[in-house]
Amino acid sequence: MKSNIQKVYSKLPKQELSSHKIELALVDDIEKTYNKIKSDADNLSMGLIKAANEVDGINTEAKEILKRIDATDNDIKKLEDGAKDLGVELPDEAKISIRQLKVYKSSLSQLVSKSAKVSNSLFAMLG
Model confidence at 57: pLDDT above 90: yes
pLDDT tens for residues 77-99?
A: 999 999 999 999 999 999 999 99
pLDDT by residue (tens digit) across 5-38?
666 666 665 555 555 666 778 888 999 999 999 9
What pLDDT does residue 126 have? 83
For every residue of the chain, DSSP letters joined together read ---HHHHHHHHS-HHHHHHHHHHHHHHHHHHHHHHHHHHHHHHHHHHHHHHHHHHHHHHHHHHHHHHHHHHTHHHHHHHHHHHHHHT-PPPHHHHHHHHHHHHHHHHHHHHHHHHHHHHHHHHHHT-
pLDDT, position 13: 59
